[in-house]
Structure 1
């Protein structure tokens, strides 16, 4: 999946990552996700998100290397929250660079 399909917001060395509208449209309705556990260290191109959706099953690489410091627990319980437009609800993970 192309990097145009993610959005990132950085504050104090922590990058919040989510899917853009283009990414959501390419995948379709998201029905299952697997996100690394908090404390996992990701290198460039490691998988940040395994996703099953109406249109695709994808391994989405991380756009930034670092340590996962938070994950969207709501997304693990209800993957459809990643289909939303509100960044405060639809983020995937927060990564400390």
Structure 2
């Protein structure tokens, strides 16, 4: 399983990459592996406000329907427009082509609340 070191992680299995005040968000390799083949993705609209810990999207697989939670608060400034037509991208490339949304952070320090790679790896090993 792949866990890039430069990312931050949540207990709900989302990853976050912060560049300046923009957080790119997706689901982890662990999450997509647990879900199985992803067949549907629902994303928010550009301009929507999201709150940390609140649902911002849905991922449906052959096994389950799962909510996706915002790891940070802010405004959605971009969505991955390819995902609704190519949901399997979440399985094939969860950290690259499978990113879901970009959020302009309302509080950049909130990133410090998220797990680093070592903490996340310990977390999933307990799961």
Question: TM-score with structure 2 length normalisation?
Answer: 0.70
Gaps of 5+ in 2: 1-9, 106-127
Q: 1:3-27 CA distances to partner (integer Å, 9 max, x unpaired)?
A: 3622210001100011111010111
Larger Rg: 2
CA RMSD of aligned residues (A): 1.5
| 1:67 and 2:68 aligned | no
The one of 34, 39, 42 aligned to 1:26: 34
Query: Which residue of the partner structure matches residue 95 of structure 2?
Result: 87
Secondary structure at the aligned position of 1:58 is classed as strand
Gaps of 5+ in 1: none
SS at match of 1:79: coil
Tell me the matched-pair count. Answer: 96
> TM (normalized to structure 1)?
0.89
Structure 1: 4+ residue segments shifted above 3 A = none
Structure having the larger proportion of residues in strand: 1
